[in-house]
């Protein structure tokens, strides 16, 4: 029978490194977090080949003495837990595993100097073996250099990706930590190129766009809400400013970057009726909760958390995001498509004689009105001018400066309303805009409650499921009942469906229940049913909206503009597309060479 023995220290560190240091970016994350915990005001990160060959982190923090450096390279030695109250941890690091783990799989150089002393100290560890322990010269603070990651562990090194991929992962790590601490300056160098240079003392509204995308400053809304002891701050992109993947969603809990399914699901729920299902919001959210309300000791990488009141946290984020977007999302993403803008003709060709004849003798100084429901005055086949069009709409006399979306001046292709605002030209997609307005009217009128009415089944249906799925459904029975789905437990591995929401009366109860069980397993709460009902509302709004191709009078166009100015979330349709765009007067003048 094999004997139980204690593993050697270097082997224990290598085993731990498998969880903590799976790639250079993971080591970089631990080192930058240590620099932040050390009170640094400026952190410089240098990479060679994405960190595969070399990575270096330099800070101006408190520094360490020679004895502290030696102790820091031992497992589970840390200065961040002065007592045993791990639930009260307020620092990014606390496990005491990172430095010995990194030193066991690389050539690791630790240099540090305590502020106020005259001499620094260097300690070099090559894959777990100490090869140098000596004085050195450096400014106050700490410098950590990691070289040849997994160089002596070929089985691990062959799974590392290309330098480009490793650099992308490292850049993402620095971006997340830089957003979490706008009071600290960050510099990132890759080879000879300086990628980031963020100054200390910035605000979230300044740091986040500078880190993610500068367009977010003009296409986002600030968030600052409190509920009890919870606080939510950050910057949320307008629904019209979105991406095809969720790689630009940055979530933080008590200053710690996390990738949490609960928070991701909350973001998806908040944007549910404002984005297409294959599009994702761009945002950075900072959630602050009492330390004892969240468990950060879930995984060695410390990227996962568990909340004591997960439902309360999710509800706070969803309502907070919706509240912020309802005040700011009358705006639409205002970054014009560069391809479309480049196709504007700056120097139009000389018009053909037949076209020129249309305008002869016309007084263009007089106010012009829009032609409504009239045949074209020009026959393109014969080239002759037909009779004057009939049915002109009256001229709009409203002052332009009075309204944010301006005053209607015409309609293009019976689909787009053209309005003149004080600071530019506004073009509105009439169907997309009216679709959003109808949806908000339905909600305000309580149509959603009507849609959730239950439709009792003539014969209750038994749905057989795994016992774990049945447990999940049973835990959400009250919530499902509020949404119109009445179910009860029917043995250890089955559920009995007695009623379904009226709007989903034709749905397959078995498929519906299984989808909800999968959704609860994935996100911790049943939100799929609510999203299905939102989809029903959106479908009703789409069918009840003004269609593209319908001619509108001037009064109808102006009424549409005025209602858009009053309605929340009117900047985008129910599928996340913009309802209006604006071309500033400065851009118009540039098109004609006036500016």
The answer to whether the beta carbons of residues 282 and 212 sit under 8 Å apart is yes
Q: Which two tokens stand for residue 225?
A: 């809400």
SS3 234: strand
Judgement on whether residues 470 and 561 belong to the same structural domain of the protein: yes
Can you give the pLDDT at residue 190? 93
Integer Cα distance of 320 and 233 in angstroms: 9
**In a shared domain, residues 174 and 259:** no
Closest CA to 138 of 157, 149, 122, 124: 122
Is 214 found in the same domain as 125? no
Stated pTM of the model: 0.65
Which has the closest alpha carbon to 361: 388, 380, 381? 388
Distance CA 111, CA 143 (A): 5
- Residues 448 and 272: beta-carbon distance below 8 Å: no
- Which position has the token pair 């690091």? 93
Q: Which of 328, 345, 373 delimits the end of a domain?
A: 328
What is the sign, positive or negative, of the torsion defined by CA atoms of 175, 181, 183, 184? Answer: negative
Full residue range of the structural domain in which residue 218 is found:
204-328
pLDDT at 393 over 60: no
Q: CA-to-CA distance for 266 and 262, rounded, in angstroms?
A: 6
Domain-located, residue 112: yes
Confidence of residue 371 (pLDDT cuts 50, 70, 90): very low
- Number of domains comprising the chain: 3
Predicted pLDDT of residue 447: 59
Residue 407 within a domain: yes
Three-state DSSP class for residue 25:
helix
- 384-403 as b/e, with b when 16 or more CB fall inside 10 Å? eeeeeeeeebeebeeeeeeb
**Residue range 253-260: average pLDDT?**
87
* Mean pLDDT in residue range 545-560: 81
Nearest to 443 by CA among 541, 322, 530: 541
Residue 26 CB burial class (10 angstroms; 0-12, 13-18, ≥19): buried
* Residue that finishes a domain, picked among 276, 308, 328: 328
Q: What is the mean pLDDT of residues 82-100?
A: 64
Q: What is the CATH number of the domain that holds 568?
A: 3.30.1370.100
Task: State mean pLDDT over 185-214.
Answer: 92
- For the segment 286-328, what is each residue's pLDDT rounded down to a tens digit? 999 998 888 876 666 667 788 888 888 988 998 889 888 876 5
What's the pLDDT at 337?
52
The confidence band for 475, taking pLDDT boundaries of 50, 70 and 90, is: confident
Q: Are residues 128 and 154 in the same domain?
A: yes
- Considering the domain boundaries, does residue 370 fall inside one? no
Same domain, 189 and 310: no
- Give 381's pLDDT tier (boundaries 50, 70, 90): very low
**Residue 557 maps to a domain:** yes
What's residue 583's pLDDT? 84
Question: Do 33 and 172 belong to one domain?
Answer: yes
| pLDDT greater than 60 at residue 370 | no
Phi-psi region at 361: left, alpha or beta (left = phi > 0; alpha = psi -120 to 50): left
Kind of pairing, strands 249-253 and 283-288? parallel
- Transcribe 243-294 into DSSP letters: ESSSTTEEEEETTEEE--HHHHHHHHHHTTTTS-TT-EE-EEEEEE--GGGE
Q: How do residues 462-473 score in pLDDT, each as one tens digit?
A: 999 888 889 888
Q: Is the pLDDT of residue 528 over 80?
A: no
CATH of the domain at 209: 3.30.230.10
Position with higher pLDDT, 455 vs 383? 455
Residue 415 located in a structural domain = yes
Q: What is the pLDDT of residue 488?
A: 94
The pLDDT tens digits for 64-89 are 999 888 888 887 666 555 555 555 56
Q: Using one digit for the tens of pLDDT, what is the confidence trace for 416-442?
A: 999 988 888 889 988 888 888 877 776
352 within some domain: no
Please say whether the beta carbons of 404 and 332 come within 8 A.
no
Mean pLDDT of the chain: 78
Per-residue pLDDT of 317-352, as tens digits, reads 988 898 888 765 555 555 555 555 554 544 444 444
What DSSP state is assigned to residue 393?
P
**Can you tell me the mean pLDDT for 100-123?**
91
Residues 486 and 433 in one domain: yes
Q: Is the pLDDT of residue 176 over 80?
A: yes
Same domain, 174 and 304: no
* pLDDT at 133 (0 to 100): 92
In a domain, 355, yes or no: no
Query: Which helix (H) or strand (E) covers residue 526, if one does?
Result: none
Same structural domain for residues 155 and 255?
A: no
Q: What is the pLDDT of residue 197?
A: 94
CA distances 500 to 20, 361, 487, Å, are 47, 68, 9
Residue 495 is predicted with a pLDDT of 93
Among 180, 198, 216, the domain boundary falls at 198
Same domain, 208 and 178: no
What's the pLDDT at 43? Answer: 96
Residues 484 and 538 reside in one and the same domain: yes
Q: Is residue 215 part of a domain?
A: yes
Q: What is the distance between the terminal CA atoms of the chain, rounded to a whole angstrom?
A: 88
- Look up the CATH number of the domain holding residue 152: 3.30.565.10
Q: Report pLDDT for 489.
A: 93
Question: E strands along 387-515, which residues?
Answer: 407-412, 416-421, 424-429, 454-464, 486-489, 494-501
Q: 534 Cβ partners below 8 Å, 6+ apart?
A: 272, 273
Backbone angles phi, psi at 52, to 5 degrees: -65, -40
Q: Is the pLDDT reported for residue 578 higher than 90?
A: no
150 and 226 both lie in a single domain = no
What average pLDDT does the segment 349-369 reach?
41
Query: Regarding predicted confidence, which is higher, 290 or 152?
Result: 290
Position 546 pLDDT exceeds 80: no
- b/e code 303-330 from CB counts within 10 Å (16+ = b): bebebeebeebbebbbebbbbbbeebbb
């Amino acid at each position: 029978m094999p004997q139980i023995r204690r593993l050697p220290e270097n082997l224990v560190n290598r085993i731990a490194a498998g969880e903590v240091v799976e790639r250079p970016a993971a080591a970089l994350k631990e080192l930058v977090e240590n620099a932040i915990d050390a009170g640094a005001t400026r952190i410089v990160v240098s990479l060679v080949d994405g960190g595969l060959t070399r990575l270096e982190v330099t800070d101006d923090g408190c520094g360490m003495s020679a004895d502290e450096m030696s102790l820091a390279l031992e497992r589970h030695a840390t200065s961040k837990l002065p007592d045993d109250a791990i639930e009260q941890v307020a620092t990014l690091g606390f496990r005491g595993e990172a430095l010995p783990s990194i030193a066991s799989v690389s050539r690791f150089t630790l240099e540090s100097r305590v502020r106020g002393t005259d001499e620094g100290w260097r300690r070099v560890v090559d894959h777990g073996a100490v090869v140098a322990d000596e004085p050195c010269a450096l400014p106050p603070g700490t410098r950590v250099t990691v070289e040849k990651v997994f160089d002596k562990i070929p089985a691990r090194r062959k799974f590392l990706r290309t330098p480009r991929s490793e650099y992308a992962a490292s850049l993402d790590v620095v971006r997340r930590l830089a957003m979490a601490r706008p009071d600290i300056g960050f510099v990132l160098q890759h080879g000879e190129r300086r990628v980031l240079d963020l100054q200390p003392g910035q605000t979230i509204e300044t740091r986040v766009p500078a880190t993610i995308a500068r367009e977010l400053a003009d296409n986002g809304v600030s968030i600052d809400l409190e509920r009890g002891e919870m606080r939510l701050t950050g910057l949320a992109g307008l629904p019209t400013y979105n991406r095809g993947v969720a790689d630009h969603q940055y979530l933080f809990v008590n200053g710690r970057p996390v990738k949490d399914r609960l928070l991701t699901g909350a973001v998806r729920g908040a944007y549910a009726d404002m984005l297409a299902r294959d599009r994702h919001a761009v945002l950075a959210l900072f959630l602050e909760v009492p330390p004892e309300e969240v468990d950060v000791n879930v995984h060695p990488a410390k990227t996962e958390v568990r909340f004591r009141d997960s439902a309360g946290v999710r509800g706070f984020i969803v309502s907070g995001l919706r509240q912020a977007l309802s005040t700011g999302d009358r705006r639409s993403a205002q970054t014009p498509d560069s391809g479309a803008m480049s196709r504007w003709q700056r120097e139009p060709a000389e018009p053909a004689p037949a076209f020129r004849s249309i305008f002869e003798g016309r007084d263009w100084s007089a106010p012009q009105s829009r032609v409504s429901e009239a045949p074209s005055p020009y026959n393109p086949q014969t080239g002759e001018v037909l009779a004057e069009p009939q049915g002109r709409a009256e001229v709009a006399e409203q002052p332009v400066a009075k309204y944010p979306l301006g005053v209607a001046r015409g309609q293009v292709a019976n689909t787009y309303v053209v309005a003149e605002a004080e600071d530019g030209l506004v073009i509105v997609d009439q169907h997309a805009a009216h679709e959003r307005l109808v949806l908000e009217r339905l909600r305000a009128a309580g149509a959603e409650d009507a849609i959730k009415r239950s439709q009792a089944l003539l014969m209750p249906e038994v749905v057989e499921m795994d016992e774990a799925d049945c447990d999940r459904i049973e835990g959400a029975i009250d919530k499902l009942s509020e949404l119109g789905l009445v179910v009860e437990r029917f043995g250890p591995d089955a559920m009995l469906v007695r009623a379904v929401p009226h709007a989903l009366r034709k749905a397959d109860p078995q498929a519906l229940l299984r989808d909800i069980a999968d959704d609860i397993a994935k996100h911790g709460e049943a939100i799929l049913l609510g999203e299905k009902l939102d989809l029903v509302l959106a479908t009703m709004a789409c069918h009840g909206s003004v269609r593209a191709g319908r001619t509108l009078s001037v009064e109808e166009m102006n009424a549409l503009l005025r209602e858009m100015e009053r309605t929340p979330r009117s900047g985008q349709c129910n599928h996340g597309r913009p309802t209006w765009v604006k071309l500033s007067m400065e851009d118009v003048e540039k098109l004609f060479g006036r500016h």
